[in-house]
């Protein structure tokens, strides 16, 4: 089990995940990352989430992988 953090950023803002989550492996971290992106983008707002990126870091601050929001959201309709 590994404690990972899911920070989000765009060119002008950073949303820092201070709680993180305990995951068994990278696949579980990826699934959790997708849920984080979906939960943030479900809130009605004027924010263009497609330019945001989710950074998955371990408890030492090392970046494990990135998830561009556009990858999860797909192309606009």
What domain count does the chain have? 1
Closest CA to 66 of 12, 26, 19, 23: 26
Q: pLDDT (tens digit, 9 = 90+) per residue, 8-64? A: 999 999 999 999 999 999 999 999 999 999 998 888 777 788 899 999 999 999 999
Q: Hey, what's the torsion of the CAs at 7, 10, 12, 13, to 10 degrees?
A: -30
**What is the span of the domain harbouring residue 40?**
2-73
CA distance linking residue 23 with residue 4, whole number of Å: 7
User: pTM for the whole thing?
Assistant: 0.87
Give the E-state strand segments of the chain in sequence order. 2-9, 14-15, 21-23, 53-58, 63-68
């Amino acid at each position: 089990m590994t404690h990972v953090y899911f920070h989000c950023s765009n060119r002008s803002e950073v949303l820092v995940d201070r709680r993180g989550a305990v995951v068994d492996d990278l696949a579980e971290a990826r699934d959790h990352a997708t849920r984080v992106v979906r939960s943030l983008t479900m809130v009605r707002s004027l924010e263009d989430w497609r330019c945001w990126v989710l950074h998955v870091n371990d408890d030492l601050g090392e970046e494990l992988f990135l998830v561009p929001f556009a990858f999860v959201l797909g192309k606009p309709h």
